[in-house]
């Protein structure tokens, strides 16, 4: 019995198995390097830092101080959902978000974070959740009031690098 052909078959099979394993590994690495939208991870794309995420609230709060509901709405994605602090209506498009801020901004709100927890989910998605307070001024009487509320902001990084709010939930603290 000649063993040479059997060894050759084993060598061919072993080479094929090794090639298959290498291809499987390469495919897995490619999938692992892609984010949820199928984009490949780029070495220059970095995860957001906690300070950057906290700065997104500062931008939003500055937009409130302009008194312009359009500027505030510009910070929300076109398909964003807003569950606002002082309204019973869920806002699911730009017109509804602008409508909410037209009324809310009459109170000259100034937000201050009391507690914040940041979760960086991936390079394009972050969540900031916690507690904030709003100093409000009644437009009719000038009386000052503070509203303490829980909040959650979910942000997504856009293709141009800007971060937009895709979900914003704010609810008055039940003990208040």
Residue-wise pLDDT tens digits, 124-158: 999 999 999 999 999 999 999 999 999 999 999 99
User: Whole-angstrom Cα distance, residue 31 to residue 25?
Assistant: 10
Q: Please classify residue 84 by burial: count the beta carbons closer than 10 Å to its beta carbon, then call 0-12 exposed, 13-18 middle and 19+ buried.
A: buried
Is residue 5 over pLDDT 80?
no
Enumerate residues 6+ apart whose C-beta is below 8 A from 158: 77, 164
How confident is the model over 17-39, as a mean pLDDT?
Answer: 43
Task: Give the helix ranges, DSSP H, for the chain.
Answer: 4-32, 50-66, 69-73, 94-104
Is residue 95 over pLDDT 80?
yes
66-75: per-residue pLDDT in tens?
Answer: 999 999 999 9
Give the DSSP H/E element, type plus range, for residue 55: helix 50-66
How confident is the model over 13-20, as a mean pLDDT?
Answer: 38
> Do the strands 144-157 and 163-172 form a parallel or antiparallel pair, or are they unpaired?
antiparallel
Is residue 116 over pLDDT 70?
yes
CATH class of the region 50-172: alpha beta
What is residue 147's three-state secondary structure?
strand
- pLDDT for 175: 80
Q: What is the CA radius of gyration of the chain?
A: 26
- pLDDT for 112: 97
């Amino acid at each position: 019995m000649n063993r040479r052909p059997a060894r050759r078959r084993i060598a061919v099979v072993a080479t094929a198995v090794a090639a298959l394993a290498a291809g499987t590994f390469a495919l897995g690495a490619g999938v692992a390097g892609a984010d949820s939208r199928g984009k490949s991870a780029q070495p220059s794309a970095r995860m957001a830092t906690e300070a950057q995420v906290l700065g997104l609230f500062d931008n939003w709060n500055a937009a409130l101080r302009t008194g312009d509901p359009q500027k505030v709405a510009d910070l929300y994605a076109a398909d964003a959902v807003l569950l606002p602090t002082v309204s019973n209506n869920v806002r699911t498009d730009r017109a509804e978000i602008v409508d909410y801020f037209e009324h809310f901004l009459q109170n000259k709100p100034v937000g201050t974070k009391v507690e914040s927890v940041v979760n960086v989910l991936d390079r394009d998605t972050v969540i900031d959740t916690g507690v904030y307070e709003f100093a409000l001024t009644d437009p009719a009487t000038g009386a000052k009031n503070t509203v303490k509320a829980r909040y959650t902001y979910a942000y997504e990084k856009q293709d141009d690098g800007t971060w937009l709010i895709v979900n914003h939930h704010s609810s008055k603290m039940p003990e208040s």
